[in-house]
Each structure stands twice: as structure tokens, then as C-alpha cells.
Structure 1
Amino acid sequence: MASFTLSLAALLAGSTIASPLLSLKVDTGILNLDLDLKDIDSSIKSLFLPGSSTSRPPTNTTSRCKVYPGDLEWPSEEAWSHLDALTNNRLLEAPTPLAAVCYPGEGYNGTKCAEYTVANWQRSYLHMVDPIEMMSPVAQGMTCTPPVLFDSHGCTRGGFPRYVVNATEPKHVQLAVNFARNTGVRLVIKNTGHDFLGKSGGKDALSIWTHWMKSIEYIEEYVDEKLGYSGPAFKAGVGVQAFEIYKAAHEKGRVMVGGEGETVGVMGGYIQGGGHSPLTGLYGTGADQVLSYEVVTADGEFVVVNSTSHTDLFWALRGGGGSTFGVAISVTVKAHPDLEVTASRFSFSSAATGNETFWAAIRAYVDSWVANADAGTYTYWSLIPSNGTFSFAFSPFFAPGKSEKEATALLQPWFTKLNDLGVKFDPNITHFDNYYDAWRSSFPLEAVQKPNVATASRQFPRSNFETAEKRQELYEHIRASSEKNRVQVHFNMQAKDPANNDNAVSSHWRPLVSFSMQSVRWPINSTAAEILKIRKDFQDIDAQSWRDISPGAGSYLAEADRLEPNFGDAFWGTKYPRLLELKKKLDPQDVFFATTGVGSERWRVESIDGLPNENGKLCRVD
């Protein structure tokens, strides 16, 4: 079966990377049953047929769990070989985890292992082009990590898949979906591996790797009367990342709504799950921009999904979450005119200001959040505790469509308060005449998750800011979390609700003023029982304290904790009941599963160590 290696030389140059395969086009090849399966024996052929009354039923109907190696129903080597041949030798068998070079065995390479310093390992460039690596090692199960981070005392596959289809055309996806559905093997979908909850992993699963679907097409005039849209658009392969689509848009004098992180696969799980953006205050979430999808359904059919075709699926795919309703091949999204941007980046710490002055500065900042959100700005800011001191950073304050004068006016009331408090800071206010340069200069590279961290999030609505008393209450909870040594990241923004916008994006996004996260850490050598207690206490006490002051609010499905209680309401709000009904209709066999995805409460990963990770069988809940 195929092997797959990539050089990172071109990927690691500079602060923004250039894909060596940007010109790669998604082949339009669609499965042709008469042609593609004509020479295959009927007993094997049945494994690749689409869902219908004549297709083979799952072979594990009497089992609680998906089919795994060692089960009688596990596909034969002949079956896997046919999947490889039918996908043009793009089936990868047991791809080696990157950190395997650090452990005894035929793959040991001490020189290569030495390159995996903490800083290098946490760079997302390294993992995004790998067929199995996940950017959340905790969700993988911590079974093969560089000893410099965490000594896993050997390298086992843990939550990594057993087989990977390196898909570059619809046919590859159709064959993999049909094979998984007809055999009962667990199916997962991976693009870049960005997800706090580890949705791209699955022990001994069959993975569809969509990362190299890199086509980008500019459409000067796209018209959808039902959606009320007439204007430019981009049709992009689902593997296209932020740095690629932003550059393409810039070259056309346009912008599109994508994430702040440059290596995020914005056309994959990001956009299907909603997706917040530096442009969300002006245009809404990423899912609000979708005009059309090309999708492979749970039946293995390739369909075009839009406002007039497969409308239920179109509604669900715009916000209902990735790896749940189908496998997207391409997405067509709105393009907007380029615009000026003003940004500010600075920091200060309690070590310089003193503790009470520092917290007075933070309290004053909370008072400005509603005005900043209403102005369409997007602030990525952090609070980092360290040995009894605290640091604050704008990373950055980002004001699309604002001149330097307009952005400064928004910030000035808080700056005046900082000056009154004696806080020394350099606002570093910079104006850009286009979005692309502002984005490249302003946001940090997103890091791979540390091996001893879990993160919970909350979407604080406007009701948390309506009075001085409510703002004081929120501030006190933020301070309390910091004083408990919780690292915090906050996004001050609103999520504009565009016209003609009926989709599955969580109802919790629209009242938003602050999307806020806090993280807990545990000692690196903790036992599984100790880790589970720390994580449960974090949810029951720290995260619950934030929930208590924001009744009826929610969380963001891509940046959250796998232990989030009542995740359906938290991640989708009022949209969840309809999404559940559509899941039963569109995927009645649960071919697609993602942890905390729609309908996932019917299943659980029975992890080997009892921790919330992908290192275990996926089984039905009794």
C-alpha cells in the first residue's frame, strides 16, 4: 500500500507559509459503479456499493462497537488491498507517528528526535501535513510523544487511525465512506488536525484525509436569489487553509471570512462548525458565508448542496459541525471587498504595575467590551498567571474597516484610565491599507496543545455587560480564575447576523460580546485517576462558575472541553433538536461520528485509561 512523505522545507520558511501544492486541483472524478467496480468479485464488490436497499448491511449489527482488528468482522487483507487499488494506491497503512523516532525500534532516529524540542513540536506547521498527527495530544491518548514533552515510555498507536485514504477527488471519499458503512469499521475525517477535542482521531479507524484538496477558483459573479446574494465568491477545495485562501483573496482585491490562525483548514471543520473570524463583527461567522457545498453523503453519494438542492443537508452543514453529516469536497463562499485595518499589540504585567493596579486596569477594560463589539472589532487578548504575577496582552486589538483615528478613538477611554493608573504601555497602533497584510502582521501562530492541558470555554452574551454590577461580577470571575492559575484567552467581538441567514450556527453566537476560554494544567507525571479528578473538578468548579453567571449561554464546539455537560445545548442552543432529527434522517447508521458532535450521545469511546481521549473502541451507549 502507499507510503506518503513530505518535505517541510518550503513550509517552514517565513512567518507565513506557502503551500508547495497550492496549484493542485481537486480531480472531479466521481465513483462510476459500472466502470470502477466492473472487474471486482461480487463478495468484495458489495463492500464498495453505495447505500441502498441492495447494498450490504453492516457486518457488526450484533455488536455494541464498531469493528476493530481482531474481530471476526474485521475486513480481510484482500478487502483492504482492493480499497487501496480503487483509490489509486492512496491507502496508507498504519502511518508512523512522528515521535516514533524517539523510541527503540527500527524507526529510532536520535538526531531526528533531537529536533523535536518543545518549541518545534508545538509549531502547527509540523503536524498539519502529517496524515495522522493531531494537534491535541491529550485527546490522542499520549501514547507517542517526544520525551522532551512527556515520556510515553514507548510508542503505540493509541488514538491514531489504522488506515488513511489520502483523498484528492470525490471518488476516493465515496469508496472510503461506502467501505466503512458496509464493514462497520469506524470512520474519521482529518484535514489539518486542528481541534481542541481531537475529532480527527480514532483508535484503529479508517481515516479520510482531505488535506490536499487544494483547488481555489474565483467566481466574479455568483447569484443565489433565495439567499439574496449576488456578488463575487470563491470555490475552494476542503483542504484549503487560511494562509492560502487569504492570499488568493488578496490578489483579487477581496477578503473572505476565515479564522485568525494561519494553518487552520478553514474550508473543513472550521466552517462547518460556525467558525469565528477577525471579520465576524462585520460579516458573521464562517458558516454564514457558505453558498454551496460539494459533499459525499453517508450513503456514499456525491451531491451538490445549496439553497435549492438537498436543503436539509445544506442547513445542517452550515454550523452543525464537521465529521457529522457528510464529507465536504469543496465549499463556495462569499467574497467581500478588501478593506483597511488598524491593529494594536501591547502588553503589561503586575510585576511592573503592582497587583491591585494591574487588576484595576483589567476591570476598566471590561467596561469597553460592548462598544468594541458594536464597532465590529475583534480583540484576541490573554491573561497569563506565573508564580504569583499576571500578564496581559493584546494579540491583537484588530479593527477591520477602521482608520487609525477611528480605532484610536475606540481605545482612548481605556488608555486614559491606564494612564491615570500609571500603567506604562506602548499601544503600537498600526494602520494597514489591506486586510492580508494586517492579518499576517498581527496574529500569532497557533500552537499544538501541551500534553497536560484541558480548556473550557464560554460565550458571554450582552446580558453579562448590561449593568456595572454585571460587569463587576464577570470581572471578579475572570480574576478568580487567574488567581487559581488558569491561563485565559478571550475574544471580544460580536457575531453579526446577516440577512437571509437560516442555518445551524449556534444561537449562542448572536448575543455574543466575549468568547472566553480558561485552561487547567496537571503535573506531567500524574496518574490517569489524578488527571480525571483534576479535569472533573475543573468542570464542576471553574467552568461551572462561568456557566453560573451566564445562564442560557453556551460554548464553542471547536474550542472546548470534551467533558462539557449538556454539550448539545452548549454548542448549538435552540438549533440542537432539529440537528438531532436531521442526523437520524441523513445518517441513520451513524457512519459519521465526532466526539460531542450531533448525535454522539448515542456512542462513547471506551478509552483504555478511562480518560476522555480517542484511545479506545467506539461503542454504543447501553
Structure 2
Amino acid sequence: MASLPVLVTALLATSTWATPILSANINIGSSLNVDVDLKGVTSTLKSLFEPNTIPNITTSRCKVYPGDAAWPSDDAWTQLNDLSGGRLIADPTPLAAVCYPDQPGYDAARCASYTTSEWQRSYMHMHDPIEMLSPVAQGMTCLPPNLFDSQGCSRGGFPKYVMNATEPKHVQLAVNFARNTGVRLIVKNTGHDFLGKSGGKDALSIWTHWMKDIEYIEQYTDSELGYSGPVFKSGTGVQAFEIYKAAHEKGRIVVGGEGETVGVMGGYIQGGGHSPLTGLYGTGADNVLAFEAVTADGEFVVANSTSNTDLFWALRGGGGSTFAVATSVTVRAHADLEVTASRFGFSSAQTGNETFWAAIRSYVDSWVANADAGTYTYWTLIPTNGTFAFAFSPFFAPGKSKKEATALLQPWFSQLNELGVEFDPNITHFDHYYDAWRSSFPLEAVQKPNVATGSRLFPRGNFETAEKRQELFEHIKTSSEKNRVQVHFNMQAKDPAGGDNAVNSHWRPMVSFSMQSVRWPINSTAEQILKIRKDFQDVDMQSWRDISPGAGGYLAEADRMEPNFGDAFWGDKYPKLLELKKRLDPYDVFFATTGVGSERWKVESIDGLPNENGKLCRVESA
């Protein structure tokens, strides 16, 4: 069993309804028994919690919100809290509320202790029931005024109620309540998502973060998927640092994200999930053998190769907060392996611009060979006041000795030497994956309040000829010269060993998963921000799309303004996913921006920007 992190957010104790988690080991627990759990509930309220009901379809375009005649009574919310054993958090408070005299819990000293570096560390936010790692997607309505331009503190895109779920029954109660009342429902694990899928103004949130159970099973057989071997069955709140440590203790590895605080068993794995091991074992979703989940009709089910197979297919890559709420995931466990990593950088300030760009151009020539070798390179290109900095963060070669990894890098290193670029490759060998991972990757940062990021999955076709490689390089260079911060992952997504799933078909021919970001002045108006973001999509991102026709992007690290997101995020899987969405969730209980079927809805944000600070309403023409 995995023990909880020492830190349990103090915010849980600020709500009169919230129950702090005291146990070090949380069992995933039981499912809802209507005859037992709803016994004694008045008939008026009982109907709000029953599964398999057809909701009352109103003429309202929007989900139900405070102030609406259909908004649940205080008695209804109290009953939800009581049925869940006091797990409901009412009116949760943003972390920055301590900075504002008009907010409960005002604490000027605590606010003064916030620093920019601290605020942007995911450690500060990951155990919070509402905080999102994308303040832009939240709506920028409550940030520390000593750090950012702020107009005060309001709930904005944060939920009004949070179900602190630690067993399926809690999830079922919340799903049934949302379906039967029309209240907007959202699902949050740790809040890792550039697009803000874990937020929603005045919504009821299902917080799965404390579903921390980890069970190791030495022998598991699924003949349909052709697998026989060890697995881990984990609660959906398990984060990368937790599952990697548990696997290491068993001499195993699992496919998860490079970021240590990512909730790998939640939205990450349901959205596909790239990994330092993707070149060897595919995406996170490719390694799933079973889910336990709560469906839109409130049933607790097992979805695997023989049971609820359509749901199983959709959950493996179809996106979180869309088809069901997963409570546990069973994933393949692979044998531990050696890793060699390299971390270094250089800048145009030391080389001069011409030599710097010649070095980057020569690097592009090695991407196909590196991807084919199963390596994973996280590299960055940062412009600063007319200079440019390159960094391996890192080059990561699982299953490779130091000699093998050095041989892969040597052709490029020789070119760097010929160019006169001074660098220390810092090539380090590790006997175990866990040690290599801990030593190599940076901690994820909370996004800045003036940034939007777009992504592209550049396929092998962009690298087949010198002319194509030159074309891609020129676009990378142009983006840098326009002051676009870039993050690239040179890798391939190995075909799934377990057969077809909903993972974006654009992943398979990919050689580089590439991102660029646009920034705007911190005090920009909404109109100015919208224009900058639209221009970014119409010009910067469109230029990347133009040279990679038929390719796509990654749904978890992208821009809410991505055009034709269905094809971009799922490729040829999207028509089937749309059909399954209509069948598995006919009343759209689940919604996630740019998720499958989200074309039928729109967040009508208060400021007109693409964020969660507004009502979720039907699109008239959809």
C-alpha cells in the first residue's frame, strides 16, 4: 500500500463540511448500494441520488447555476454531504484569498510570504481541492496581488462545491446528483492541464486526488490483450512520484509522465500520456489493462477487454472528464532497466547567432535516429532579449548503456565541435530507471498569467529529406525570433501491444512533439489578449500546421483555441469517439473543453476570453 504524502492541505479544514484525510492508507472502498445507502432519505431528496435516471430536460440553454430556480436547495446539498460521510467541501477558498481583506481567512503575513518562485511550483498547488496549474484557463480571478496584476479575488472558474472522493460511492453520489439536478460537473485530480479541464465556474467538482491505493499483482493475465505478467492496480489519485517509487521497490517500471507531480492515473493516462518510456512501450493509455469507473448513469463498472469494451476503448486515450470517472487503473509493469541521460546547454550569447543556429540545424538531422532508438529528449529553446538558449532537459535513453547512448549523440557532438561550440555533455549512466528519472527532469511549473501554448505532433514526413528538415528548422528559428518560448520532445510513440484504442492516431508517425508559447503584456485588456491569442493561432501555429498537413496536437498540452480540435487531438479516432460519447453519456453529464462532443457546449466567459469563468451553455446550432 502507498502511504499519503506528509502534506495534507490545510484548506480542507477551513470548510465546516470538509473532513481532513487522517488515514495513511486509503482503500478505494465500496460502491453505492441504493437500498442501504439511501435508506431513510426522504422521497423528495432520494430521487436526486438514484442512478439510471433520466434527468428532467429543461428549456434552459445552460447548466443550472446559483440563482436559478432549479438550483438545488440547501437541504439537498446537506444531504449530499451527509450521504458522503462529510466529504463535501462548500465554497472552497482559492489559495490567494489570504491576500484580500474582504475574503474569509485574510492573512496579510501569509500573503507576504508568497514568492513568485514558490507560487509557480506545482508542490504548492497539487494537494489543493480547486487550484489549477493554468491561471489563464481559470480566469485570473484570484492571484496574489504582490506577485501579479490583480483586480481582486472572486471564485471565477473555480467550483462552488467539491466532493473529496476517496471511494466509488462518493463519485456515484456526485455524478447522480449532477445528472439529476442539471448542475455542472467537473473532475479534478491534480490540476495538470494547460486547457483548464479541471475547472468550472460554480460547478460541483469530483476531486479524485486522494484515491492513493497502490496494489502490486505479480501475475495478471489478459488473453484478449495478449498480456501475462505483473501489473499495478492504482487509485486515480496516484501521482508519478508515487507509482514510480512503488514500482522501483518491486524492481519494476511503469509508463507514466516525466513530470513528478502529474496525476498519471487520471486525465494523463485517459488522454494518452507521453512518457520517457514511450519509445519502448507506447503511451500511458497503451499500457492500461483495466479501469474501474463510474459511468454517466451512476453505475460502478469494470471496463476491460471483455467487459464494457466500448468504454474501455474510449477511456484509453479518449480524454478525461468525458466518458466516465475512473477510480482505479490497472497497468502493465515492466522490468527495471538501465538508463543513460545527458543534460547540458549553450546559448547564442556565447556562440554568436550564426553558430548557434547552425548548431540547432545540425541537431535536427539526428531526430529520426534518436526516435528510432527509443530515446526521449526533452529540449528547450528560450529567447531572451535577442539571445537564444538551448538545453537538453534531458536526453534520456532508457535501456541504453553509456557507450550506446554516447554513440547516438556522437555524430551531433562532432558537428558541435567543428562549429566551435563549447559544451559539457554530462553523460551519466544509471542502473535504475527511478534514479535516472529523479535526477533528470525539472519540476513542473504553474503557468504564468500571460501565456498560451500550442502544440504540434510533427510526423516522420517532416524529416525524410534534407529539404524537409530545413523547412522545419526555419519555422523553429522564426518562432524563436518572434520571441516564442519552445519546448520539444524528440521521440516516437511505439504501437500499442494491446491492440487498438482511442489514442490520437497522429501520435504513431510522430518524431517530435513540439510546443510554442505566446505571451502578452501583463496589464493587457481582454480585447488585446484575445487578438494576440487569435493571431498566435492564425499565424504562428498555422505556420506549423502548414508544413505538417494531416498531423495533430496533444490534447493535454495545447491551446483552447486549437481549430478543428477533434481531428487535431484524435485523428481518425474522432468519429467513433463522437458516436460513443452520444451513447455512453447521452445527457452530457460530463464536459471538458475541447473534449469529445464539447462542440455542443460553450463556456460563455465573463470577459469573452477562453477560460472557465462563465456559464456552460448549449451551442444553439450544435
TM bracket, shorter-chain basis: over 0.9
Moved more, 460-469 or 115-124: 115-124
With 145-154 and 116-125 compared, the bigger mean Cα shift is at 145-154
Where 1:508 maps in the other structure, the secondary structure is: helix
Mapping 1:122-521, distance limit 5 Å? 122-521=120-519
Residue deviations 1:583-611 (CA, integer Å, cap 9, x gap): 00000000000000000000000000000
> Which of the residues 90, 93, 106 maps onto 2:90?
93
Tell me how far apart the structure 1 counterparts of residues 521 and 54 of structure 2 sit (CA, whole Å): 49
- CA distance in structure 2 between the partners assigned to 1:21 and 1:291 by the alignment: 31
Q: Give the corresponding residue for 1:48.
A: 49
Alpha-carbon shift at residue 56 of structure 1 (Å) = 5.5
* Paired AA for residue 486 in structure 2: Q
- Paired residues in the alignment total 604
Q: Give 3-state SS (helix, strand or coil) of 2:345's partner.
A: strand
Task: Name the counterpart of 2:60.
Answer: 63
Distance 1:269 1:22 in 2: 25
Question: CA separation in 2, counterparts of 1:235 and 1:37?
Answer: 29
Q: Deviations over 1:28-52 (max 9, x none)?
A: 211011111110111100000102x
2:118 — aligned with what? 120
What amino acid is aligned across from residue 269 of structure 2 in structure 1? I
Contact 1:460 1:512 in 2 (8 A): yes
Checking the alignment, whether the CA contact within 8 Å between 2:130 and 2:159 is kept in structure 1 is yes
- Paired residue type of 2:340: T
Deviation at 1:104, TM superposition (A): 1.6
CA distance in 2, matches of 1:617, 1:499: 42
Tell me the CA shift for residue 110 of structure 1.
1.4
Checking the alignment, whether the CA contact within 8 Å between 2:165 and 2:206 is kept in structure 1 is yes
Deviation at 1:116, TM superposition (A): 1.6
Rounded Cα–Cα distance in structure 2 between residues aligned with 1:269 and 1:480: 33
| Counterpart contact for 2:149–2:523, Cα < 8 Å | no
Structure 1 position 164, deviation (Å): 0.2
Unaligned runs of 5+ in 1: 10-19
Q: Report what 1:592 is aligned to.
A: 590
Cα distance between partner residues in 2 of 1:311 and 1:512: 27
For residues 560-618 of structure 1, the C-alpha deviation after alignment (integer angstroms, 9 at most, x for no partner) is 00000000000000000000000000000000000000000000000000000000000
State TM-score, norm by structure 1: 0.96
Q: TM-score, normalised by structure 2?
A: 0.96
Aligned-pair CA distance for 1:273: 0.3
* 1:290–1:150 distance in 2 versus 1, CA, 3 Å: same
The amino acid of 2:38's aligned partner reads L
1:81 partnered with 2:78: yes
Check conservation: 1:197, 1:560, Cα contact below 8 A.
yes
Cα distance in 2 for residues equivalent to 1:87 and 1:23: 20
Deviation for aligned residue 1:147: 1.5
Moved more, 309-318 or 495-504: 495-504
Match of 1:17 in 2: none
How large is the RMSD of aligned CA atoms in angstroms? 1.2
- Give the residue type in structure 2 aligned to 1:127: H
Is residue 27 of structure 2 the alignment partner of residue 26 of structure 1? yes
Separation (CA, whole Å) in 2 of partners of 1:148 and 1:495: 43
Change over 3 Å in CA distance of 1:21–1:269 after alignment to 2 = farther
1:370-393 CA-to-partner distances (Å, cap 9, x unmatched) read: 000000000000000000000000
Could you give the per-residue CA deviations for residues 226-245 of structure 1, whole angstroms, max 9, x where no partner exists?
00000000000000000000
- The alpha-carbon distance between structure 1 residues 141 and 228, as it changes in their structure 2 partners (threshold 3 A), is same
Match of 1:15 in 2: none
* Aligned-partner Cα distance in 2 for 1:261–1:454: 19
Aligned-partner residue type, residue 48 of structure 1: F
Q: Give yes or no for contact 1:504–1:575 (8 Å, CA) kept in 2.
A: yes
Displaced runs of 4+ in structure 1, greater than 6 A? none
1:8 is displaced (CA, Å) by 6.3
| SS of 2:505 mapped into structure 1 | coil
Q: How does 1:511-550 map onto structure 2 within 5 Å?
A: 511-550=509-548
Distance 2:130 2:62 in 1: 22
Q: 1:465, CA displacement in angstroms?
A: 0.1
Secondary structure of 1:61's match?
A: coil
Partners in 1 of 2:291 and 2:493 — Cα distance? 22
Structure 1 Cα separation of the partners of residues 137 and 510 of structure 2: 28
* Paired residue secondary structure (1:344): strand
Shift of 1:6: 5.6
Deviation at 1:350, TM superposition (A): 0.1
AA aligned to 1:369 is W
Distance, in Å, in 2 between the alignment partners of 1:529 and 1:591 is 32
Which residue identity is paired with 1:50?
P
Mapped partners of 1:477, 1:218: distance in 2: 46
Note if contact 1:149-1:451 (Cα within 8 Å) is conserved in structure 2: no
Q: Is the 8 A contact 1:259 1:277 kept in 2?
A: yes
Partner SS, residue 47 of structure 1 = coil
8 Å contact from structure 1 (residues 21, 214) kept in 2: no
> Shift of residue 500 of structure 1?
3.6
The 2-side partners of 1:496 and 1:153 are apart by: 47
* Matched residue SS, 1:478: helix
The aligned residue for residue 16 of structure 2 is none
Per-residue deviation, residues 447-489 of structure 1 (Å, max 9, x unmatched): 0000000000000000000000000000000000000000000
Task: Give unpaired runs (5+ residues) of structure 2.
Answer: 1-5, 11-20
Deviation track 1:159-201 (CA, whole Å, cap 9, x = no partner) reads 0000000000000000000000000000000000000000000
- For the Cα contact (< 8 Å) 2:216–2:230, is it kept in 1? yes
- Tell me if structure 2 keeps the 8 A contact 1:65–1:620: yes
- Whichever residue aligns with residue 444 of structure 1, its letter is P
1:557 alignment partner, SS class: coil
Q: Percent identity?
A: 81
Match of 2:69 among 65, 68, 72: 72
Alpha-carbon contact 1:296-1:303 (below 8 Å) kept: yes
Q: Amino acid of the residue matched to residue 188 of structure 2?
A: K
**Structure 2 CA distance, aligned partners of 1:539 and 1:485?**
15
**Cα displacement (A) at 1:335:** 0.2
Q: Distance in 2 between matches of 1:421 and 1:127?
A: 44
Offset of 1:22 from its aligned partner? 9.3
1:22–1:215 contact (8 Å) kept in structure 2: no
| 1:22–1:416 Cα change, 3 Å | farther
Contact 1:46 1:56 in 2 (8 A): no
Distance 1:197 1:590 in 2: 19
Tell whether the 8 Å contact from 2:240 to 2:261 is kept in structure 1 after alignment. yes
Q: 1:104 aligns with which of 98, 101, 107?
A: 101
Q: State how far apart, in whole Å, the 2-side matches of 1:421 and 1:320 are.
A: 45
- Provide the rounded CA distance (Å) in 2 between the counterparts of 1:148 and 1:370: 46
| Structure 1 equivalent of residue 3 of structure 2 | none
Q: Please give the alpha-carbon distance, in whole angstroms, between the structure 1 residues aligned to 2:259 and 2:449.
A: 20
- CA displacement at 1:150 relative to structure 2: 2.0
Quick one: which amino acid aligns to residue 78 of structure 1? D
Q: Which amino acid aligns with 1:44?
A: L
